Amino acid sequence: MAWLLRPDALSAFDNEEIRETIPRYVDVARGGRRPLFRIDQRIFLNGDDDPWRSHEEGLRIMSECLTEGECPEGTRERGQRSLLEVKISLARSLVSECRLCEWKCGVNRLEGQVGVCRVGAPRVASAFIHMGEEAPITPSGTVFFSGCNFRCAFCQNWDISQFPESGSPVDAGRLASAMDELRGRGARNVNLVGGEPTPNLHVILEALNLASEDFPVIWNSNMYMSEEAMRLLLGVVDLWLPDFKYWRDECARRYSGVLRYRETVTRNLRMAHNFPPGEMVVRHLVLPGHLECCTKPILGWIAGNIPNVLVNVMDQYRPEYRAGEFEEINRRISREEMREAYRMADELGLRWRSVSLP
């Protein structure tokens, strides 16, 4: 099948800024290197009374070999489990008293209880090849999970994010088949999004263990994962695609209904950045009237803490869903505001041009 590619998508992998900032992702997308979840399947760990200790040992091995170049092909000995299998069993234990995200609801989702996100068994609203993501990501094999742990007043996917019962139920086998099919149809990656992928982490890891195709895994998320869930994602996610929406916690509470936003998201961005390969495209949606309180300090934090990442300074804000309830954000972003946001990004030396401009 022939795809109508965005003109910049084909050449994106030859763009110098992209080759320099996300080289491993580019190689995996082209089929030249193994995705991280395949390496997880080849690191074998001895049984340990404390599975988290086993997991940390697996991460240590992985971090070392990724830093040195490539990881060896291990062979399983009697009684050993792969790092991916250890991650799966730890994720299931997190879901049984749910601590997948920073809400830490403590409900047993394996027995049908639901927490703040109201996500029960995972459901997928749609899975298709997305032609409108950032150039190096397009064409992208997007999997939209129903439900979200945020309540963003301006959500553009509110019919998916705020209705966890929408879409079709998926188990690990069906999800693995959907991922394989997307890659088989020409997707550069599998892009896990929603709503929010976090409440579905346990099934996503199981699906990766069943998948036949090799593909880079993209985590397209609000980054409100708990620290434990973050550790499980390290060494699985080939390219992070995090939102960094707010700097002021008051803005996060007012528009998205979440607490301790900045502390949680900056911790998780640091963790993602510090574990190899640490490749990411940070998305910052510029909100009307929020240049001083949010955009400026966010871009400054990125420049000071995770300076070598790609940043998408986004102008796509539209006052959708319940945005009309807040007069100050009930308008499009102005040209002057966007010019100022780009000027700030330039002044800070951020790498934003190859993924921000249409």
Binding site for ligand SF4 (CB under 6 A): 98-101, 103-105, 107, 109, 115-117, 119, 149, 198-199
70-91 b/e (C-beta count within 10 Å ≥ 16 → b): ebeebeeeeebbbbbbbbbebb
Question: Minimum distance from CB of 170 to ligand SF4 (Å)?
Answer: 16
Based on CB atoms, which residue is closest to ligand SF4, 100 or 333? 100
Based on CB atoms, which residue is closest to ligand SF4, 104 or 254? 104
Based on CB atoms, which residue is closest to ligand SF4, 12 or 192? 192
Pairwise CA distance, residues 139 & 160, whole Å? 21
Based on CB atoms, which residue is closest to ligand SF4, 164 or 277? 164
Question: Minimum distance from CB of 58 to ligand SF4 (Å)?
Answer: 24
Based on CB atoms, which residue is closest to ligand SF4, 98 or 302? 98
Q: Which residue has the tokens 């403590």?
A: 106
Q: How many residues does the chain have?
A: 358
Question: Minimum distance from CB of 313 to ligand SF4 (Å)?
Answer: 29
Based on CB atoms, which residue is closest to ligand SF4, 138 or 157? 157
For residue 131, the one-letter residue type is M
Question: Minimum distance from CB of 33 to ligand SF4 (Å)?
Answer: 32
Mark residue 19 as left, alpha or beta (left: phi above 0; alpha: psi -120 to 50; beta: remaining).
Answer: alpha
Pairwise CA distance, residues 283 & 241, whole Å? 7
Based on CB atoms, which residue is closest to ligand SF4, 245 or 290? 245
Question: Minimum distance from CB of 53 to ligand SF4 (Å)?
Answer: 24
DSSP 276-340: TT--BEEEEEPPTT-IIIIIHHHHHHHHHHSTTSEEEEE------TTGGGSGGGSSPPPHHHHHH
Question: Minimum distance from CB of 110 to ligand SF4 (Å)?
Answer: 11
CA dist list (Å): 162 to 13, 118, 234, 307, 325: 35, 9, 28, 34, 17
Based on CB atoms, which residue is closest to ligand SF4, 229 or 287? 229
Close Cβ partners of 274 (under 8 Å, ≥ 6 residues apart): none
Question: Minimum distance from CB of 94 to ligand SF4 (Å)?
Answer: 8
Question: Minimum distance from CB of 301 to ligand SF4 (Å)?
Answer: 24
- Residue facing ligand SF4 at closest CB distance: 115
Sequence-ordered alpha helix ranges (H) in the chain: 7-11, 16-21, 23-29, 36-40, 51-68, 83-96, 158-161, 172-184, 201-210, 227-233, 249-256, 261-274, 296-305, 335-347, 353-356
Question: Minimum distance from CB of 224 to ligand SF4 (Å)?
Answer: 8
Pairwise CA distance, residues 198 & 196, whole Å? 6
Based on CB atoms, which residue is closest to ligand SF4, 100 or 172? 100
Radius of gyration of the chain (CA): 20
